[in-house]
Amino acid sequence: MEAFLAFIATVVATLFAQATLARATRNRSPQDGAWAFALATFALASAALFIGVTTGWDNGTFRAFYLLGAILSVPWLALGTIYLIHGNKIGRRVQWCLVAFSGMALGAMLTCAIAPGISGSAIPVGKEVLPVLPRVLAASGSGLGALVIIIGAAISAIRWMREPGPVARRRAIANMFIALGTLILSGGGLIQGIVGKDTAFVVSLALGISVIYAGFLVASGAGREPKQREALTGT
């Protein structure tokens, strides 16, 4: 069951990443570019998860899974929210900070020692096999990223109430979907980390990605007239 669900999560994330990248290329919207990168990390993390639960975990597979899924995915997701709400100027500054953070995380995961004995199909728990630095990076990156997404949803809702309109409504709904999807992903990680329920973790991964992508579709104003789309994306 875990292998099947991990495969579904990989396919879903890959298709969503491809569609979001195509939209980012077409619209030249920085939030779509950030979201496409975040979905790509989700897809690669899901692929590593599929490999781990089908052929057995090893150090390399777990390093990729933890780096892409636990450390990088949510911060890059939050970058899209920052671009959407605060515009390109602030978004670019945050992006350069995030690039530096991603480089540090990559170096930490490539060089850190992993406790021996990673094997089998059960998903390893980070606190049991990793040193402090990667776990701190995961907690700070994902925690701060999730906080940014939730605050972004609240700001969008407040703006919608103050200045009602179709663009503000779509932006508020989009950020609510993205925040909900992020909470679903975080909930699955918490369940897996505390009680080791691998099936629940994989279900939350596939479901969370789907809910997040629904938010992307709303944010991009799919099916709306070009002027509204331009107003939303800032292009």
Q: How far apart are CA 145 and CA 77, in angstroms?
A: 7
Q: How far apart are CA 72 and CA 68, in angstroms?
A: 5
Report field, pTM of the whole predicted structure over 0.95:
no
Asked if 94 and 82 count as a contact pair (C-beta separation under 8 A), the reply is yes
pLDDT digits (tens, 9 = 90+) for 165-223: 777 777 778 778 888 877 877 765 555 554 446 566 777 777 777 787 777 777 766 43
Q: How confident is the model at residue 15 (pLDDT cuts 50, 70, 90)?
A: confident
pLDDT digits (tens, 9 = 90+) for 140-156: 988 898 888 888 888 87
33 phi/psi in degrees, rounded to 5: -65, -45
pLDDT digits (tens, 9 = 90+) for 95-143: 999 999 999 999 999 999 888 878 777 788 888 889 999 999 988 988 8
Among 70, 77, 186, 189, residue whose Cα is nearest residue 130: 70
Those residues with Cβ within 8 angstroms of residue 9's Cβ, 6 or more apart along the chain or in another chain: 42, 46, 49, 50, 202, 205, 206, 209
pLDDT digits (tens, 9 = 90+) for 47-68: 998 898 888 888 999 999 999 9
Cα angle 23, 35, 83; round to 5: 95
Those residues with Cβ within 8 angstroms of residue 69's Cβ, 6 or more apart along the chain or in another chain: 41, 42, 45, 46, 48, 49
Asked if 41 and 73 count as a contact pair (C-beta separation under 8 A), the reply is yes
Count of residues in the chain: 235
Query: Which pair of structure tokens corresponds to residue 32?
Result: 């779509």
Instruction: Give 90-106 as a DSSP string.
Output: HHHHHHHHHHHHHHHHH
Could you tell me the residue range of the domain that residue 187 belongs to?
2-233
Q: How far apart are CA 60 and CA 119, in angstroms?
A: 11
Q: How far apart are CA 21 and CA 36, in angstroms?
A: 5
How many domains are there within the chain? 1
Q: How far apart are CA 38 and CA 16, in angstroms?
A: 10
CA end-to-end span of the chain: 43
**Which CATH number do you get for residue 16?**
1.20.1070.10
